[in-house]
């Protein structure tokens, strides 16, 4: 077994934490934001997808339950749709808000296992969640279309960000 | 400008020229194969092209184990599964695809099923996720358009859900592509025009979409030059084999280009028009290309303007004017083709009804190609383009 360097372990920990934040944010945003509700309204109940890193994680899984998205925890939970980054280096730009998902795909950073149309839908949902996670100066750089949030959307974003760390503490054990 | 990161791959051996088809059995030998499953469609058989293929096997030591000629105009998951079963049942060791994009994509689907050891193509959906090396695969295109003979993509109709599914993988490339003008001479003028516009769309979208890179750019520009110089000749003088060979090469070059830089909103909408309204892919691309280019001028106007000289457009004015001139040159070509062979220039002429536009737009937003389009393509943006093209 190859020994892993401290640097590699730190990167993996960072990716793991950011994925936890993403999963938790998915739950929070789907509770409060109508755009995400509209986006997932056409998804069949129980649709599950995973986001992670090859070859063996970290990975998280999410599932549509009713009108919301539920974070299932670490692992792919047998999701039929998996969006997997080829390695940690490939995952970091997207997860840390240094590049948009379109740039990640243009750079061949990720593979899709499963229905490509459903991957496009999951990606759109992820872009909506990103808009409630990252500050506007980052969103202006990583989104194709410059965001123009309303006052209400800004207020919801503040609420989501304020509650994110306590929520992560609760979802951490899943 | 060099992108921060790019990948480029084209592992296909290309054989181009008059009588190139004669090398087919030899190429099978190079691939250690001798029992071919030839996949075609009724049009290929009716045009006598299959007989040409059968003749080259004479005295070669290789044989045609079976011919599957029931490929429909839109390849489907069930047909691909059937082809895979024939291949396995008859212990074939090589696929030979003779036909247009539908035949080639059917073989790609069947090859996935055989190589991955499954019985259902739907289990293999995804992008860049196949693991096993494909069976020997030789492509003999009979239309000059899809470029499928050199691409890592297959578009296959899902019979149950009535959508076009995109598969991409480095394992989808054929091993050999044989371009022989004699195999494209029988394509009728309207199909020649539509498939040629498909090739032009590949090249143009490849040139301005997000995965573009210096290598794919060079292939795209070469393809556009060949299309502009030869497409109208192929349509008006169908037995001009020099023009036919040039167009076959144009489609191939465009295919190499877009396989490495992907396509954008035009293809997303064309796939959706095909899935929802059964509009032939080349026809939809021909109609939508100028509108799709225009919708991207705000984001990549300078890049579209670069295409002006190779499209034969007016190159005066500022960048935005030159970009619109490039679009105008594409529109002028489509109009010329409408005059000489009746190629539709609106979705209405292609049989699309206005009440279908919402469904087309909705389907298009879930197409993988929208990811690589420079402008954001949401439902409203897709619908706006469709309404203009209607």
pTM passes above 0.95: no
pLDDT 10s digits, A67-79? 999 999 999 999 9
Three-state SS string over A16-38 comes to HHHHHHHHHHHHHHHHHCHHHHH
Residues of B248-273 as b/e, b for ≥16 C-beta within 10 angstroms? bbbbbbbbbbbbbbbbbbbbbbbbbb
To 10 degrees, the CA torsion angle through B38, B43, B44, B48?
130
Determine the pLDDT at residue B32.
96
Query: With an 8 Å Cβ cutoff, is B268 touching chain A?
Result: no
H helices of B209-318, where? 214-236, 241-261, 265-277, 281-295, 297-306, 308-311
Binary contact (B210, A102; C-beta < 8 A): yes
- A50 to chain B, closest Cα gap in Å: 14
Look at chain B and count its residues. Answer: 390
**Chain A residue whose CA is closest to B155:** A116
Binary contact (A108, B129; C-beta < 8 A): no
Q: Is the pLDDT of residue A93 over 80?
A: yes
The better pLDDT of the pair B136, A112 is held by B136
Determine the pLDDT at residue B127.
67
Residue B94 is classified by DSSP as: E
Indicate the average pLDDT of chain B.
Answer: 93
Best mutation target among B112, B116, B127 (most A Cβ atoms within 10 Å) is B127
Indicate the average pLDDT of chain A.
Answer: 91
Determine the pLDDT at residue B118.
82
- B378 to chain A, closest Cα gap in Å: 9
**Would you place residue A1 in the very low, low, confident or very high pLDDT band (cuts 50, 70, 90)?**
low
Please give the structure tokens belonging to residue A163: 């509650």
Identify the segments of chain B with pLDDT beneath 50.
Answer: none
* Nearest CA among B62, B52, B121, B113 for reference residue B87: B113
- A85 to chain B, closest Cα gap in Å: 11
Determine the pLDDT at residue B129.
66
- Identify all chain A residues contacting B367, using CB atoms and an 8 Å cutoff: 117, 120
Determine the pLDDT at residue B204.
98
C-beta pairs of B6-9 under 8 Å, 24+ apart in sequence: B6/A107, B6/B211, B6/B213, B6/B215, B6/B260, B7/A108, B7/B260, B8/B213, B8/B215, B8/B216, B8/B260, B9/B152, B9/B170, B9/B173, B9/B259, B9/B260
- Helix (H), strand (E) at residue A111: strand A110-113
CA distance B182 to B196: 17
Determine the pLDDT at residue B196.
96
Determine the pLDDT at residue B130.
72
pLDDT 10s digits, B281-316? 999 999 999 999 999 999 999 999 999 999 999 999
- A124 to chain B, closest Cα gap in Å: 9
Determine the pLDDT at residue B365.
92
**Chain A residue whose CA is closest to B262:** A106
CA distance B225 to A9: 51
Number of C-beta neighbours around residue B146 at 10 A: 26
Pairing relationship of beta strands B153-158 and B163-168 according to DSSP bridges:
antiparallel
Residue B63 is classified by DSSP as: E
Best mutation target among B7, B112, B126 (most A Cβ atoms within 10 Å) is B126
- B5 to chain A, closest Cα gap in Å: 6
Determine the pLDDT at residue A116.
84
**Chain B residue whose CA is closest to A146:** B376
**Would you place residue A166 in the very low, low, confident or very high pLDDT band (cuts 50, 70, 90)?**
confident
The predicted model gives A149-163 an average pLDDT of: 91
- Identify all chain A residues contacting B365, using CB atoms and an 8 Å cutoff: 120, 124
Instruction: Write the residue in B165, B375, B376 that is nearest to A116 by C-beta.
Output: B165
The better pLDDT of the pair A55, B163 is held by A55
Prediction ipTM score: 0.86
On whether the CB atoms of residues B129 and A80 are closer than 8 A, the answer is no
């Amino acid at each position: 077994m190859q020994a892993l360097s401290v640097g590699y372990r730190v990167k993996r920990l960072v990716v793991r934490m950011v994925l936890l934040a993403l999963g938790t944010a998915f739950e929070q945003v789907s509770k409060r934001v109508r755009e995400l509700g509209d986006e997932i309204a056409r998804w069949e109940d129980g649709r599950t997808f995973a986001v992670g890193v090859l070859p063996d994680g970290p990975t998280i899984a999410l599932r549509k339950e009713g009108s919301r998205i539920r974070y299932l925890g670490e692992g792919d939970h047998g999701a039929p749709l998996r969006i997997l980054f080829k390695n940690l280096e490939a995952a970091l730009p997207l997860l840390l808000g240094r590049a948009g998902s379109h740039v990640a795909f243009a750079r061949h950073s990720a593979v899709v296992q499963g229905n490509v149309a459903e991957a496009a839908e999951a990606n759109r949902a992820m872009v909506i969640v990103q808009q409630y996670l990252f500050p506007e100066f980052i969103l202006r750089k990583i989104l194709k279309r410059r965001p123009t949030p309303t006052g209400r959307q800004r207020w919801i974003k503040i609420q989501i960000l304020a509650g994110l760390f306590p929520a992560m503490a609760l979802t951490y054990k899943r | 400008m060099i992108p921060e990161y790019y990948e480029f791959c084209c592992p296909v051996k290309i054989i181009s020229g008059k009588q190139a088809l004669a090398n087919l059995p030899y190429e099978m030998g190079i691939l250690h194969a001798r029992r071919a499953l030839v996949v075609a469609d009724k049009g290929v058989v009716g045009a006598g092209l299959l007989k040409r293929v059968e003749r080259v096997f004479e005295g070669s030591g290789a044989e045609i184990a079976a011919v599957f000629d029931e490929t429909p105009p839109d390849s489907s998951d069930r047909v691909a599964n059937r082809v895979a079963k024939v291949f396995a049942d008859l212990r074939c060791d090589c696929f030979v695809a003779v036909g247009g994009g539908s035949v080639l994509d059917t073989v790609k689907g069947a090859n996935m099923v055989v190589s991955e050891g499954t019985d259902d193509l739907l289990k293999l959906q995804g992008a860049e996720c196949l693991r096993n090396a494909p069976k020997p695969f030789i492509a003999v295109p009979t239309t000059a358009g899809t470029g499928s003979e050199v691409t890592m993509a297959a578009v296959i109709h899902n019979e149950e859900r009535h959508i076009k599914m995109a598969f991409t993988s480095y394992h989808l490339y054929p091993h050999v592509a044989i371009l022989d003008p004699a195999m494209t001479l029988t394509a009728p003028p309207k199909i020649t025009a539509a498939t040629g516009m498909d090739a032009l769309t590949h090249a143009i979208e490849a040139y301005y979409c997000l995965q573009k890179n210096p290598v794919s750019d060079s292939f795209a520009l070469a393809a556009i030059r060949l299309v502009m110089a030869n497409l109208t000749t192929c349509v008006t003088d169908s037995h001009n084999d020099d023009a036919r060979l040039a167009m076959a090469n144009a489609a191939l070059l465009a295919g190499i280009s877009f396989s490495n830089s992907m396509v954008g909103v035009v293809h997303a909408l064309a796939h959706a028009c095909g899935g929802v309204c059964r509009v032939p892919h080349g026809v939809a691309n021909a109609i939508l290309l100028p509108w799709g280019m225009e919708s991207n001028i705000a984001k990549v106007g300078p890049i579209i303007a670069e295409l002006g000289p190779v499209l034969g457009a007016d190159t005066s004015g500022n960048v935005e004017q030159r970009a619109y001139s490039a679009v105008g040159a594409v529109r002028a070509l489509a109009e010329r083709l409408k005059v000489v062979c009746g190629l539709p220039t609106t979705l209405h002429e292609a049989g699309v009804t206005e009440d279908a536009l919402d469904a087309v737009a909705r389907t298009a937003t879930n197409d993988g190609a929208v990811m690589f389009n420079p402008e954001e393509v949401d439902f409203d943006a897709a619908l706006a383009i469709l309404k203009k093209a209607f």
